DNA sequence: TAGATTGTTAATCGATTAACAATC
DNA sequence: TAGATTGTTAATCGATTAACAATC
């Protein structure tokens, strides 16, 4: 039996030649999904997988998988497929997982609490080191083990602790104020739940907007299209 | 001054010829965003807008806007631009907003409560008629004015009330059970927050998966890329 | 009428898929 | 060695942009 080590050695050599030509945005958007599926396979104890098997699981073409993964260098091996553990760790690295980012959640309403309680951050190597809110009843307490501070302390805290990521779950009206404070304090990324596109002059900050409303609307659209189809085919049968 | 009514009359005539050839998926994905911006313009009291002005606000090309809107028929008028109110209402109609869908939220944890409290549903003409949970302490109460029932009643409730949309905020482990119950009860659309792709055999149900984890990961990736750039340029200066 | 701006065609660009030689 | 499966090129497909004639 061919040893996994030998295979691994070969991988390492090839990856050194990683192409640094810019990765298509379409590929980048798909990386988190690969990460998710490979993580599941790893948990299930799988060691290797071919592009064709993965394509069936993920509902994409095998060709696309090979094309995508090759943007970052040769992760696979002819005749063998892909080593799941290795591939997973490489994609994790590419995505910046396990960079050990520190993050704060601004807004301790229902959404802020929901985010304080998920395991989503930990799984991606992100530490939630503080919550911020204006409500005096919760300032000074802990929520899911995360200390809650007053929002007035946000700037100093982020500056001192060199916080990398800020999560914004405050009302729309407060979003810009908080975002500017975060940016001024050197925060590098903002995860914005304020249901609006947050445009900052300061382009040293990356904003990832979550648009739940758009998603809900897309669902409405699809439901409507489906209902219309049903209606039409019912009419046809009459 | 040219009357708005005259303009409107012209619009109506042209829209009757709406092209029913299938709309590209890329366009559909952009519709909620158009809807959002047009709604804002409407609130700001604006009456009309040209593709070129809208393109600046939305950060896309004017050409794309004209191309997109034309998939559904002639919404604009040469030399005038687009009537915002009319365009907004047409896109609303296309998206299935104001179809008056009834919806239930399954899972009354932090996320369920957050969704119970937003104005997101109301704005899209969706009525949240019930919450479901297993916790006996909250069953029988109301949360943000929405009655909470035990999850055992989910099937009968949805079947009787002909619920259109189910929102899934239960833990991953319960997601499939609940989803199948909803589907069996005739629910047409499922908005899934369970951090997993929900595949149902029953293809009469539309599932819209929310992947907050993927979004967080994309943010990590972008932050990492930016940090790498900064590091590189700093090295270059040495 | 003259100016503005759309609707639409044609050109470009990028992303996906198919195919197969390279190679483990 | 033979079989399997990748990496990669070429072909196809779809989406975006540019340009301009149509028309309000």
Q: What pLDDT score does A230 carry?
A: 84
Q: What is the CATH number of the domain that holds A186?
A: 3.40.50.720
B151 secondary structure, DSSP code = G
Question: Which is it for strands A146-150 and B48-49: parallel, antiparallel or unpaired?
Answer: unpaired
> Within 10 A of A19 (CB to CB), how many other CB atoms are there?
11
> Within 10 A of A170 (CB to CB), how many other CB atoms are there?
26
Q: Which nucleotide is nearest to B78 (CA to C1')?
A: C6
Question: For residue B223, what are its two tokens?
Answer: 């932050």
Instruction: Summarize the confidence of residues B3-24 as an average pLDDT.
Output: 43
B24 secondary structure, DSSP code = P
Q: Which residue has the higher pLDDT, B22 or B199?
A: B199
**Angle, CA of B171, B175 and B179, to the nearest 5°:** 150
Question: For residue A181, what are its two tokens?
Answer: 């404070």
H-type alpha helices, B97-171: 110-117, 120-123, 154-161
B206 and B110 assigned to the same domain:
yes
B174 and B200 assigned to the same domain:
yes
Question: For residue A208, what are its two tokens?
Answer: 């990832």
Instruction: Summarize the confidence of residues B186-195 as an average pLDDT.
Output: 95
The percentage of residues in chain B with a pLDDT greater than 70, rounded to a whole number, is: 90
User: What is the pTM (predicted TM-score) of this model?
Assistant: 0.89
Task: Name beta bridge partners: A135.
Answer: none
> Which bases on strand C have an atom closer than 7 Å to a protein beta carbon?
2-9, 14-19, 22-24
Q: What is the CATH number of the domain that holds A63?
A: 1.10.10.10
B70 and B15 assigned to the same domain:
yes
Q: Which nucleotide is nearest to B76 (CA to C1')?
A: C6
Instruction: Summarize the confidence of residues B94-102 as an average pLDDT.
Output: 89
Question: For residue B201, what are its two tokens?
Answer: 């055999």
Is residue A193, in this structure, part of any structural domain at all?
yes
Classify B138 as helix, strand or coil: coil
Look at residues A49, A70, A94 and tell me which one is the last residue of a structural domain: A94
Full strand arrangement of the beta sheet holding A189-192: A142-143, A146-150, A127-133, A102-106, A165-168, A189-192, A206-209
Q: What pLDDT score does B10 carry?
A: 38
Cβ-proximal residues to A221 (8 Å cutoff; 6+ apart), any chain = B28, B31, B94, B95, B96
Is residue B221, in this structure, part of any structural domain at all?
no
Q: What pLDDT score does A11 carry?
A: 38
Instruction: Summarize the confidence of residues B190-199 as an average pLDDT.
Output: 93
Residue (of A41, A44, A49) closest to A80 by Cα position: A49
Specify which residue's alpha carbon is closest to the C1' of nucleotide C14: A24
Q: Which class for A228: exposed (0-12), middle (13-18), buried (19 or more C-beta within 10 A)?
A: exposed
Look at residues A58, A74, A94 and tell me which one is the last residue of a structural domain: A94
B104 and B208 assigned to the same domain:
yes
Q: How far is CA B227 from CA A60, A206, B111, in A?
A: 32, 11, 32
Task: Name beta bridge partners: A102.
Answer: A127
CA of A14, C1' of C22: distance in angstroms: 15
A184 and A85 assigned to the same domain:
no
Most confident of A219-233, B96-110, B153-167, B221-235: B153-167
CB contact under 8 A, A123 and B94: no
Range of the domain at B53: 4-94
B156 and B179 assigned to the same domain:
yes
Cβ-proximal residues to B206 (8 Å cutoff; 6+ apart), any chain = A219, A222, A223, A226, B188, B189, B190
Q: What pLDDT score does B121 carry?
A: 96
B111 and B209 assigned to the same domain:
yes
For chain B, how many structural domains are there in total? 2
Distance between CA atoms of residues B209 and B169, nearest Å:
11
Distance between CA atoms of residues A216 and A79, nearest Å:
44
Classify A106 as helix, strand or coil: strand
CA distance B22 to chain A (A): 11
CA of B166, C1' of D19: distance in angstroms: 47
B83 and B155 assigned to the same domain:
no
Q: What pLDDT score does A9 carry?
A: 37
Q: What pLDDT score does A34 carry?
A: 96
- pLDDT (tens digit per residue) in A11-20: 333 333 334 4
- pLDDT (tens digit per residue) in B40-95: 999 999 999 999 999 999 999 999 999 999 988 778 999 999 999 999 999 998 89
Q: How far is CA B134 from CA A116, B3, B38, B110, B145, in A?
A: 22, 58, 41, 14, 19
A55 and A106 assigned to the same domain:
no
CB A124 within 8 A of CB B220: yes
Residue among A96, A118, A217 minimizing CB distance to B95: A217
CB A90 within 8 A of CB A75: yes
Q: What is chain A's length?
A: 238
Q: Which of B160-164, B211-215, B234-238 has the lowest mean pLDDT?
A: B234-238
Q: What pLDDT score does A23 carry?
A: 82
Q: What pLDDT score does B2 carry?
A: 33
Which residue numbers in chain A have pLDDT < 70?
Answer: 1-21, 237-238
CB contact under 8 A, A210 and B214: no
Q: How far is CA A57 from CA A33, A62, A74, A179, B199, in A?
A: 12, 10, 22, 39, 11
Is residue A238, in this structure, part of any structural domain at all?
no
CA of B42, C1' of C4: distance in angstroms: 22
């Amino acid at each position: 039996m061919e040893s996994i080590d030998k295979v691994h050695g070969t991988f390492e050599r090839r990856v050194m030649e990683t192409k640094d030509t810019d990765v298509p945005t379409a590929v980048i958007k798909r990386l988190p999904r690969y990460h998710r599926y490979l993580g599941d396979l790893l948990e299930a104890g799988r060691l290797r997988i071919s592009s064709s098997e993965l394509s069936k699981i993920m509902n994409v073409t095998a060709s696309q998988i090979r094309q995508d993964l090759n943007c970052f260098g040769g992760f696979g091996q002819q005749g063998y497929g892909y080593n799941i553990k290795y591939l997973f760790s490489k994609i994790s690295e590419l995505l910046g997982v396990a960079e050990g980012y520190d993050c704060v959640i601004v807004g301790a309403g229902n959404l802020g609490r929901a985010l304080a309680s998920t395991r989503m951050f930990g799984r991606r190597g992100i530490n939630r080191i503080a919550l911020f809110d204006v409500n005096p009843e919760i300032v000074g307490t802990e929520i899911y083990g995360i200390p809650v501070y007053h929002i007035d302390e946000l700037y100093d805290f982020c500056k001192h602790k060199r916080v990398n990521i800020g999560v914004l779950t405050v009302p729309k009206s407060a979003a810009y104020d908080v975002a500017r404070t975060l940016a001024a304090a050197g925060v590098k990324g903002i995860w914005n739940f304020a249901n609006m596109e947050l445009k900052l002059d300061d382009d040293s900050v990356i904003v990832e907007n979550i648009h739940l409303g758009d998603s809900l609307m897309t669902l409405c659209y699809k439901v409507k299209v489906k209902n219309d189809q049903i209606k039409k085919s019912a009419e046809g049968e009459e």
